[in-house]
C-alpha cells in the first residue's frame, strides 16, 4: 500500500494568504520527501524536496517542514496566487525501494 | 530542451485492440518511468528503466501490459488486448537518478479511453 497519504482532499485559500498543505507518512525508512504540483491537463511538476535528516527547507515562496516524531510533512506557500491553483502531491523515496511513491493529492483552490 | 515528450495526447480505442503509448525522455536522463493516474488509485508506478534496462516492473498490472526501451531516446508502453478498466492517464517521466534528490520530469501524459 501507499506509504504517504494526505489529511484533506481539498483546500480553499484567499488570494494573498499563506497556504499550508499537510501530509502524513508511514515509512520511517524514507530518505527523501518530495512535493509535486499538478495543474489541470498537465503532468506533475517537481516543487521541492527535503532529505529525511532535515527539518526545514525553503524555496521560492515555498517551505517544506518535516516532523519525523509524528511522521508529518507540510508544504507552505506564501502569498498564494491564482497560479498556485492545482493538485499537490506529497511523495517519498527510499534507497531500498529506489522509486518515488505518490500520495493521493490535495486540491488547492484560490478565492479572489 | 523540449522536456519529456509523449504521444499521442489522447487515444480512444475499442476493447480488445492493441494500444501503444510512446515516450521520448530528456536527453541525458538515464532513468525513465511509466506511471498511470486514475481517480480511484492515484499515481501508480508501473515500471522504470535505468540505461534502457527494466529495473522494477512490479507495478505492471498483468501480462497484457508490456514496456520496452530500445534506446536511450525512446520507450513504449503497450497494452494488448486493451480493456475498459485500462482507461486512465499514462505519464512518462525521466530523471538523472532514481529519486532521492533527483526530481522527475513528467510529460504531459496520454489520456487513454477504452470503450
Name the band, by pLDDT with cuts 50, 70 and 90, for residue A6.
Answer: very low
Residue B107 has pLDDT above 60, yes or no: yes
Chain B residues interacting with chain A (CB cutoff of 8 angstroms) = 4, 33, 35, 42-43, 45, 48, 55-56, 91, 93, 98-101, 103-109
C-alpha distance across the termini of chain B, in Å: 36
CB contacts under 8 A, A 44-63 vs B, are: 44-46, 49, 51
Q: What percent of chain A has pLDDT over 90?
A: 76
> B108 exposed, middle or buried (CB, 10 Å; 0-12, 13-18, 19+)?
middle
- Distance of residue B104 Cα from the nearest chain A Cα, in angstroms: 7
Mean pLDDT of A50-59: 96
pLDDT in the model for residue A4: 54
Q: What is the pLDDT averaged over residues B30-45?
A: 93
Q: In percent, how much of chain A has pLDDT > 70?
A: 93
Residue B100 confidence (pLDDT) above 90: no
pLDDT confidence of residue A96 = 86
| CA gap B69, B105 in Å, rounded | 17
Please name the residue of chain B whose CA is at the shortest distance from the CA of residue A46: B103
pLDDT at B1: 66
What does the pLDDT look like over B8-18, one tens digit per residue? 999 999 999 99
Amino acid at each position: 500500500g501507499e506509504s504517504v497519504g494526505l489529511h484533506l482532499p481539498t483546500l480553499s485559500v484567499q488570494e494573498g494568504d499563506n497556504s499550508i498543505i499537510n501530509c502524513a507518512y508511514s515509512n520511517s525508512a524514507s530518505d527523501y520527501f518530495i512535493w509535486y504540483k499538478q495543474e489541470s491537463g498537465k503532468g506533475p511538476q517537481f516543487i521541492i524536496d527535503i532529505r529525511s535528516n532535515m527539518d526545514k527547507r525553503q524555496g521560492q515562496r515555498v517551505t517544506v517542514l518535516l516532523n519525523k516524531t509524528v511522521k508529518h510533512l507540510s508544504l507552505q506557500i506564501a502569498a498564494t496566487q491564482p497560479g498556485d491553483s492545482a493538485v499537490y502531491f506529497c511523495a517519498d523515496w527510499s534507497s531500498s525501494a529506489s522509486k518515488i511513491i505518490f500520495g493521493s493529492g490535495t486540491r488547492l483552490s484560490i478565492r479572489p | 530542451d523540449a522536456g519529456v515528450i509523449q504521444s499521442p495526447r489522447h487515444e480512444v480505442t475499442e476493447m480488445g485492440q492493441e494500444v501503444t503509448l510512446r515516450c521520448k525522455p530528456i536527453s541525458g536522463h538515464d532513468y525513465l518511468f511509466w506511471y498511470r493516474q486514475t481517480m480511484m488509485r492515484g499515481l501508480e508506478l508501473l515500471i522504470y528503466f535505468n540505461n534502457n534496462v527494466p529495473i522494477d516492473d512490479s507495478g505492471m498490472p498483468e501480462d497484457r501490459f508490456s514496456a520496452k526501451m530500445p534506446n536511450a531516446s525512446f520507450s513504449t508502453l503497450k497494452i494488448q488486448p486493451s480493456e475498459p478498466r485500462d482507461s486512465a492517464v499514462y505519464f512518462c517521466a525521466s530523471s538523472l537518478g532514481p529519486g532521492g534528490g533527483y526530481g522527475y520530469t513528467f510529460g504531459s501524459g496520454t489520456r487513454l479511453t477504452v470503450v
